[in-house]
A and B are shown apart, each in its own frame.
Chain A
Amino acid sequence: MADRYNSMELMICLAARYLEDGSTVVVGTGAPCAAAMLAQKTCSPNLMVMFEAGGAGPILPSMPISVGDSRTFYKGLFAGSMAEIMDACQRGMVDYTFLGGAQIDPYGNINSTVIGEHARPKVRFPGSGGANDLASLCWRTMMITPQDAKRFVPKCDFVTSPGYLTGPGAREAAGLPPGTGPYKVITQLAVIGFDETTKRMKVEAMHPGVTREDVIKNTGFELLWADDVFVSAPPTEEELRILRDEVDPYRYIIGRG
């Protein structure tokens, strides 16, 4: 990979480009928030950024540490409640959300609860928080996540948040709102979408310098491949400048790349 940028910077830039102007997105802290801030300063000045604790439409002065800290409604349009943000998601007013987890399966189901037995887990993670709600109720769920065979597993130990569950029609059968579900998974290697028919992960793009073998080696299940897999467009100088100077000057997030 070129030395001009690191993998975290690349993932953030790619994610930002999916957030079109005039859309709504619920984000957490970290890379998703950086992507939303970058989008606001580049392609989508009118992106409505929302936080589950109640803040919405802030002019973020710096990266929030918590999705409930005061930066999340700094010069904001709205400072309300958890229920009000989640109501908006359930009502169908939120276009995008970003999630992550310890495990993700071919259908985009996510585990952020336990490894091992639930009653006495080998490892306990925080749990759903708002993730299950956002994955259930927002139109399109995105993920920015490191990709390796331990994280990309055939089956999650625990399905905390719904992807396409067991495949076509499963979300609707479970009672989840129609037309919702995972959209893109952005990793340090590739951009992965979901196949229309099978609802399984399908590689759409690989980043510059990445080979099919790299992607396969870092996935614990069989991936589908688009007919026309393309090379991700690397960050522009302008994107990198804004990301480094304005979005994350202390390198809290991009320092992890």
Chain B
Amino acid sequence: MKVMGQGEGRLFTDPDANRAREYFRGKSRALKSKLTTVSEAVAGLIRDGDYVAVGGFGTNRIPTALLHEIVRQRKKGLGLSGHTATHDFQILAAGGCINRCDVAYVVGLEARGLSRNSRRLFESGGLEVTEWTNAALAWRYRAAAMGVPFIPARTMLGTDTFRKSAAKEIECPYTGEKLVALPALYPDVALVHVHRADVYGNCQVDGIMVADQELTRAAKKVIVTCERLIPNDEIRKNPEKTAITYFTVDAVVEVPFGSYPGNMAGEYFSDEEHLREWLAAEENAEAFRAFLDKYIYGTKDFNEYLQLCGGLAKMQKLRALELLSVPKGGE
């Protein structure tokens, strides 16, 4: 196949499908309980230097408890897939945990503004960056999930986004058209938060999947946190609801309100007040250190963080917001 051009960026992960197959050959297929704790999952499955990818979408259905624990355990030198990584990127950047990033969307928190600390990381040259797009990363997961080394697409062409990527331009063997060849992305570890899972790791999700299905099939190891553990019988009653299959999953932890301060569809809305507090704390280095000490380093687990943020009363309020059951002006 004719290669017509190539981006200058570094490819952080190996797209070789045969090497990935060798890894997956050795992965357990046993239907056994993978129930564990947040701290054990992070300590046991994430090594310094690993390349990690996070499910959900920035402040929606993100595995906050796992992200906090990565910071608390002071993991270093991680690579990150920045597929709309907003609050998730903000947390890992705050902990100084990442040194390289495939960027599609980072630094911003969408309509809420930009994270000053995350920007500093880029502007100080403290991060090695390869540029992509959201579709490119989602399709790169898909290629890995399919077990092929690349997938052709028609995005990124002709732009500096391509020039700073690690993609290649190829000639279509059928039509002769120029296409982009997106290399399969096999993360070392995927971190996802779902609505329900059984102890084996069969997962159900309400609402949008974002890229979680492709991502969990692409990753070598998968850590799942869930709002609720459910009996295996519940999974078997509605197998069409199984979004993630047990044999891709390595660890399962029940973490109620595990996406807080993010939104969890049908469960609770995002805590805009707390997200604003984060952004404001970043304006001052000393204040930000105190903020992180208070909420992450100084808490022993996610429940303590939830308590600090207002506990059950706050969660009930966010639930009312999510379910649109707050009377106008009752906020």
Give A residues with C-beta under 8 Å from B. 28-30, 52-55, 61, 65-70, 72-73, 79-83, 86, 89-90, 109, 113, 118-133, 136-137, 158-162, 165, 170-171, 173-177, 252
Is the CB–CB distance between B107 and A113 below 8 Å? no
Given contacts A68-B84, A82-B211, contact A160 B107 (CB under 8 A): no
B258 contacts A by Cβ under 8 Å: no
Report yes or no: A113 in contact with B161, Cβ–Cβ below 8 A. Answer: yes
Closest A residue to B115 by beta carbon equals A126
Query: Which chain A positions have C-beta within 8 A of B58?
Result: 66, 68
Contact A69 B270 (CB under 8 A): yes
Residue of A55, A124, A159 with most chain B CB atoms under a 10 A cut-off:
A124
Q: Which residues of B contact A (CB under 8 A)?
A: 56-61, 82-84, 86, 103-108, 110-112, 114, 119, 122-125, 129, 131-136, 138-139, 142, 153-161, 164, 169, 177-180, 207-214, 263, 265-266, 269-270, 272, 322, 324
Which residue of B108, B159, B263 is within 8 Å of A125 (Cβ)? B108
How far does the alpha carbon of A72 sit from the alpha carbon of B57 in the complex, in Å?
12
* B114 neighbours in A (Cβ, 8 Å): 125-126
The residue in chain B whose Cβ has the minimal distance to the Cβ of A131 is: B133
From B107, B154, B269, give the contact of A175 (CB < 8 A): B154
Q: Once the chains bind, are A121 and B208 in contact (CB under 8 Å)?
A: no
Say which residue of A80, A90, A109, A158 sits within 8 Å of B153 (CB atoms).
A90
Beta-carbon contact of A121 and B122 below 8 Å: yes
Choose one: B159, B178, B210, B266; the contact of A161 (CB below 8 Å). B159
Tell me the minimal C-beta distance from A210 to chain B in angstroms. 28
Per the bound structure, the CA–CA distance linking A128 and B135 in Å amounts to 10
CB-based contact B157/A174 at 8 Å: yes
Q: Are B209 and A54 in contact (CB under 8 A)?
A: yes
Which B residues lie within 8 Å of A129 (CB)?
84, 104-105, 133-134
Please tell me which one of the listed residues A30, A53, A175 contacts residue B57 in the complex, with CB atoms under 8 A apart.
Answer: A53
Asked if A53 and B84 make an inter-chain contact with CB atoms under 8 angstroms apart, the answer reads yes
Would you call B157 and A176 a contact (CB within 8 A)?
Answer: yes
Which residue of chain B has its CB nearest to the CB of A249? B328
Cross-chain contact B131 with A128 (CB below 8 angstroms): yes
* A79 x B207 contact (CB < 8 A): yes
Which chain A residue shows the least CB distance to B206? Answer: A79
Q: Which residues of A contact B103 (CB under 8 A)?
A: 127
